[in-house]
Structure 1
Amino acid sequence: MKRPWFPALLAVLLALVFVQPASAQATPRSAIFGGGPFYADGQAVMDTLRSSGFTTVILWSVHVHPNGDLYLNDKLIVQNGRYVGDAGWPARLRTLKQAPTSVNRIEVSVGSWGVRDWENIAALISSGGTGPSSILYRNFQALRTATGADAINNDDESFYQVAPTAAFARMAQGLGYAKFTFAPYTNQSFWASLKSNLGSLVDRVYLQGYAGGAGNNPATWNRALGMTVDPGLWSKHGSGCSAGDSPATVESKMRSWKTSAGITGGFMWLYDDMKACSAQGNAAAYARAINNGVR
């Protein structure tokens, strides 16, 4: 007896069994910024990050001194084209991507509030250029070798000049930093101009949704930059760990932004505070909150 409906039914059943929607297959994108502990806490912090659920680790913050020396916060790590920091750090960083791990990307963040890193970069470009003999080239080459970073993150909060920043980004690309990312909180027109200049070299924008950027609307920034941003929140911190967002509020806000702005990723600031306020939420809890919120 012929069953003309059977082949079609079989095809549907096979599709249900073997094919998942793209959204179900994709791993949500989640990043975490961290300062001193990422350098000073040994292998333990690397193992914590590997099992956390975060997909991107952002080393914050590299400061560029007027002579080109590179500091990770207050620790000298690169000088005269050589890595001079903790001898064990590069090997520890390499374990971040070693299976089993959730981490598939490392970024080095340059700049922060109240520093002159990007002003110093511009001055060094003006005096020495970005060629292989320049101190910027040699020092960021040494930093790339030491960290294995996939991208430079721009946390410029004062300079806002397109031409020297773009020149630096292209130099970094030539050194093996495959991408250049933004961490804006204000001055949308600058970031839009820089994105237009650099094009696909910029693949992520970590939009600050806390402190001075607390009123930022990801949908507005999406339109201005022509790409979907990854908004971020500040974990529990401060006196009594009473300020900032808990994992529960992070998940709620990410879910709201998923609806209003179509976000596909998010980030957390700051691992140092998660360590200090671990009773209110550890790295794994915050990663889970972002990943659940943007699914």
Structure 2
Amino acid sequence: MRWTWVRTAVALAVAASIVQTSQPDTAEAQVSPAAAGRSAIYGGGPFYQDGQGVMDVLRSSGFTTVILWSIHVHDNGDLYYNDHLVVKDGQYVGDAGWPARLRTLKQAPTSVDRIEVSVGAWGTPDWQAIDNLITRDGTGSGTVLYRNFLALKNATGADAINNDDEAHYDVDSTVIFARMANAMGYRNFTLAPYTAVSYWQGVKNGLGGLVDRVYLQAYAGGSGNDPATWTRSLGMPVDPGLWSKNGSGCTAGDSPAQVESKMRAWKSSAGIPGGFMWLYDDIKQCSAQGAAADYARAINTATTS
């Protein structure tokens, strides 16, 4: 996803230390139905910088999943949330108040029942850095990669890692990393494709049921994507995403009404179980064209009716 504010041997060791997941259906197999009515929202800086206020907005929004975008992995293993260093040498070093604020997301009353941390973005080398670190160190519990992602999980309470690789596309290192993350407590691994279908097929085949959601980008570079086609390719239903009102004068992107219309059509044509919005930062900036609750209602209504 894009920065909208500027617009081998290791595998054997890892496999021995994790619980194997079931193999997925093939692309030609019948896709199992999924529960409907789930809605996710990606967000960047405001999710870190805007204090408790934004957490309360999310809790009352109707969105069921919050995706923290984006974690960047440096060559030495340091983890940044956008431009903020948050984990170093196995220790959380970010804003001291952020973990407590994130914990409130799931505190009743709330619509949020899931948090994901997204890794990567368009034009960033994060998944190359992960590959290099695995090649150099492996994925044992004493490695900087393991210790840092464990510290990240403890700080954020994340249920899953979201793969927003838009550059490296290496199946083997992705599968190894995902299994390492699962071994330390991340329950699931989700995908955010817009192109390179063979890579995503390889990851899904390698991880089986560990992949429980696919957030298909259906805007910008992925604007021509058909959820039904990707569902057949990956052997599981996808949750397509749209870009909220954004840009100069908030004239670009989709309004809540447009989101509902498109999601309804995809529900009919592809049986989508849910959808997502990109990007909270823009929703905040263009709130006169639709608040977070308006977009959540659009997705939830379209995918449950």
Aligned pair partner of 1:172 in 181, 199, 205: 181
Residue of structure 1 in register with 2:211 after alignment: 202
Asked if the contact 2:36–2:272 (Cα under 8 Å) also holds between the matched residues in 1, the reply is no
- 1:108 paired with 2:117, answer yes
Residue of structure 1 in register with 2:98 after alignment: 89
Tell me how far apart the structure 2 counterparts of residues 51 and 291 of structure 1 sit (CA, whole Å).
Answer: 14
| Counterpart AA for 1:197 | G
Q: CA deviation at 1:264?
A: 1.0
**Aligned Cα RMSD in Å?**
0.9
Structure 1 residue matching 2:86: 3-state secondary structure? strand
Higher relative contact order (CA closer than 8 Å, sequence separation 6+): 2
Structure 2 residue matching 1:233: 3-state secondary structure? strand
Which runs of 5 or more structure 1 residues have no equivalent in the other structure? Answer: 1-22
Asked if the contact 2:70–2:120 (Cα under 8 Å) also holds between the matched residues in 1, the reply is yes
Q: Which runs of 4+ in 1 moved over 4 A?
A: none
Q: CA deviation at 1:193?
A: 1.2
Which runs of 5 or more structure 2 residues have no equivalent in the other structure? Answer: 1-32
More helix by share: 1
Tell me how far apart the structure 1 counterparts of residues 38 and 184 of structure 2 sit (CA, whole Å).
Answer: 25
Structure 2 residue matching 1:177: 3-state secondary structure? coil
**What are the residue-to-residue correspondences of 1:148-167 with 2, within 5 Å?**
148-167=157-176
Residue of structure 1 in register with 2:192 after alignment: 183
Residue of structure 2 in register with 1:34 after alignment: 43
Residue of structure 2 in register with 1:260 after alignment: 269
Tell me how far apart the structure 2 counterparts of residues 68 and 92 of structure 1 sit (CA, whole Å).
Answer: 25
Residue of structure 1 in register with 2:86 after alignment: 77
How many residues of Structure 1 are paired with residues of Structure 2 in the alignment?
271
Residue of structure 2 in register with 1:126 after alignment: 135
Tell me how far apart the structure 1 counterparts of residues 58 and 95 of structure 2 sit (CA, whole Å).
Answer: 19
Residue of structure 1 in register with 2:280 after alignment: 271
Aligned pair partner of 2:59 in 50, 54, 79: 50
Residue of structure 1 in register with 2:253 after alignment: 244
Q: CA deviation at 1:189?
A: 1.0
- Percent of aligned positions with the same letter in both sequences? 72
Structure 1 residue matching 2:87: 3-state secondary structure? strand
| Counterpart AA for 2:58 | L
Higher alpha-carbon Rg: 1
Q: CA deviation at 1:77?
A: 0.2
- 1:214 paired with 2:223, answer yes
Asked if the contact 2:36–2:274 (Cα under 8 Å) also holds between the matched residues in 1, the reply is no
Q: CA deviation at 1:27?
A: 6.3
Aligned pair partner of 2:146 in 133, 137, 140: 137
Q: CA deviation at 1:28?
A: 1.0
Aligned pair partner of 2:241 in 217, 232, 235: 232
Tell me how far apart the structure 2 counterparts of residues 129 and 192 of structure 1 sit (CA, whole Å).
Answer: 24
